[in-house]
Amino acid sequence: MIDLNATLMRIFVDEDDRYERAPLYMAIVEELRRHDFAGATVIKGIGGFGSSRTVHSARVFDLSTNLPVLVEVADSRERIEAVVPRLREMIGGGLITLERIGMRRIS
């Protein structure tokens, strides 16, 4: 069955971002879990830049790179939209994108 009202939410933050002393990306995952989302995926980038225009990249000799991190979750549009206000409170600087998708649940 394809859920045509599905939404893919992508949350772009930095590896060093924090929320209440925890890595922000893990705080986001925990928040999504508390809201009973089926799952979320965290992807660490090897390079990129954000609104600061500072390029961060993974290089062998860098000790502190502050790499980009992407959190992805797909669910119904209504469930995604319901959690966005809470995520905005948690994310000081970052980007949330929402994209309509066709989704097929496999169980």
3-state helix, strand, coil split of the chain in percent (to 5) is 25, 45, 35
| 36 against 107, higher pLDDT | 36
Cα–Cα distance for residue pair 46/38, rounded to 1 Å: 27
What pLDDT, on the 0 to 100 scale, is given for residue 92? 85
pLDDT, mean of residues 89-95: 90
| Domains of the chain, CATH where assigned | 2-52+73-104 (3.30.70.120)
CB atoms within 10 A of CB 46: 11
> 0.85 exceeded by the pTM?
no
